[in-house]
Amino acid sequence: MDQISAETLAKLNALNLWLQEVFGEGTRLSGFLLELGFSEESIQSLKTEHLTEYVDLVLAYIETNVENERRVRNHDVMLRYYGLYTGHQETLQQIADDLKLSRERIRQLRVRRKPKRSLSLSLNVF
């Protein structure tokens, strides 16, 4: 198994946080992949051989498709809050300062943007 970079681990953690927020407590990328029909062997192969590429691919898919669903500002707030751009979460205050909005308004956008979804969402990333 190749050494996994700190950046990839940070992105994976951010992705898992986002999945839990959107799909419910305990949702992780590996569980999501199982729901989509990936075998345990395929998931293990992704973890050991292609984790960086796959995490980047999933994040790009989420960024594109979530952006198509919502207004860009709400989308940007969620991606920054969970660290999906960089692997590093930003605080509500950091996002508020950058967007020139109040921390409370950013909190409201974040809460409004987190509808629960079914795990049956199709991720056609291959």
- pLDDT tens column, 37-88: 889 998 888 888 888 888 888 888 877 776 555 556 777 888 888 888 888 8
Residue 117: inside a domain, yes or no? no
Tokens of 81: 């809050």
Residue 120: inside a domain, yes or no? no
pLDDT, residue 119, reads 44
Q: Which residues span the domain enclosing 70?
A: 6-112
Quote the number of domains for the chain.
1
Burial 100-122 (b: 16+ CB within 10 A, else e): ebeeeebeebbeebeeeeeeeee
Quick check: 95 pLDDT over 60?
A: yes
Spatial neighbors of 76 by CB under 8 A, at least 6 apart, are: 99
SS3 36: coil
Tokens of 46: 């992704």
Confirm if 22 and 114 have CB atoms less than 8 A apart: yes
Residue 15: inside a domain, yes or no? yes
- Give the ranges where the chain is alpha helix by DSSP (H): 6-23, 29-35, 40-49, 51-69, 72-81, 92-99, 103-112
Residue 123: inside a domain, yes or no? no
d(CA 19, CA 12): 10
Between 113 and 3, whose confidence is greater? 3
